[in-house]
Amino acid sequence: MKEVQASLLVLGLTGFSFSLLLAFLSKKLKVKEDARIEKILSILPGLNCGACGVSGCRVFAQAVVKEGKIFSGCLPAGEGMNKEIAKALGIETSVVKRKSVAVCRCGADDKEKKVSCLYQGPKTCKAADLIGGAIDCLYGCFGFGDCEAVCPPGAITVAKGKVYVDIEKCIGCGKCLPACPSNLFELLPLAENLDTYYYIACNNREKGVNVKKVCSRGCIACGICTKGENSPFYLKDNLAFIEYKKIVENEPLEEAKNKCPTKCIMKFTVHSS
């Protein structure tokens, strides 16, 4: 009985003295976290997309509070939310603009892509890529929507085997780039004076004849789009590309789009917000 009393006493006293020490130190070493960080976090969309340049919304909020200004805007939040953040901090903000948007360089749907084998594996692009793809074209989109799954703002939809990017929703974070095993996504730089953009919706680097065999919407590198003065188009690896820096006006691009025999030049319009 004496042993029980002694062990209770020793253990209790040691525990009590340690807890006193801890209580004292926790008061002394308390870390004050700025209440504004939580406030900004509640305004932010919480996608942790990284489009602002730092890793995650919490780091963004800490950096904004620390620097006292919005160093680079939160793209998914849009202008309204950035103003709210500025209001919470009591500072001014400039208008936040997207620098780029993502486009998918395969514009063929189920009817246009030729499929001569039946893929029955897991319905993800990564799995299909392991056995060489689910379609005849070695460069094109399999249409299982790995990109749809990773897109933070939900701008990407896959319908009938074709990828649609909602340009208004796209924040240009670039998460779809590594998600696509065929590397079909590309970030198009947005210029200030343009609202309509063109891109080549094909990634097939085979010769025209071989492209024709697997897809009716593939670029056959005929070179029609490169004709004419000031054409920003150029051919490389049996594929047409656009030199975006060379674009002055949209007219030659629109003309090339209409002339393209396989209709693989696509266009989208950015509405100025």
Partner 1 sequence: MKNLILIFISTVLVNNLVLTYFLGICPFLGVSGKLESAFGMGMAVTFVMTLATSISWLIYHFLLERFGLLFLEYVIFILVIASLVQIVEMFIRKFSPSLYQSLGIYLPLITTNCAILGAALFMVTRNYDFLESVVFGFSGGIGFSLVLLIMAGIREEVNYADIPYAFRGAALTLIIAGLLALVFMGFSGLISS
Q: Which residues lie near partner 1 (CB under 8 A)? A: 3, 6-7, 10-11, 14-15, 18-19, 21-22, 25-26, 29, 31
Whether the Cβ atoms of residue 146 and residue 124 lie closer than 8 Å to each other: yes
Between residues 25 and 248, which has the closer beta carbon with respect to partner 1? 25
Q: How far from chain centre, in Å, is Cα 169?
A: 10
Structure-token match 């400039």, residue found: 94
Q: How far apart are CB 16 and partner 1 at their closest, in Å?
A: 11
Q: How far apart are CB 244 and partner 1 at their closest, in Å?
A: 34
Between residues 6 and 248, which has the closer beta carbon with respect to partner 1? 6
Residue ranges of alpha helices (H) inside the chain are: 2-28, 35-43, 57-67, 78-89, 125-130, 146-150, 176-179, 208-214, 251-259
Whether the Cβ atoms of residue 105 and residue 200 lie closer than 8 Å to each other: yes
Between residues 53 and 154, which has the closer beta carbon with respect to partner 1? 53
Between residues 22 and 91, which has the closer beta carbon with respect to partner 1? 22
Q: How far apart are CB 205 and partner 1 at their closest, in Å?
A: 25
Between residues 18 and 71, which has the closer beta carbon with respect to partner 1? 18
Compute the distance between CA of residue 156 and CA of residue 146 in angstroms, rounded to an integer.
Answer: 10
Q: How far apart are CB 64 and partner 1 at their closest, in Å?
A: 17
Compute the distance between CA of residue 51 and CA of residue 213 in angstroms, rounded to an integer.
Answer: 39
With 0-12 CB in 10 A as exposed, 13-18 as middle and 19+ as buried, what is 251? exposed
Between residues 32 and 245, which has the closer beta carbon with respect to partner 1? 32
DSSP β-ladder status, 233-236 and 265-269: unpaired
- The amino acid at residue 187 is L
- The tokens for 113 are 């892509």
Q: How far apart are CB 30 and partner 1 at their closest, in Å?
A: 8
Q: How far apart are CB 175 and partner 1 at their closest, in Å?
A: 22
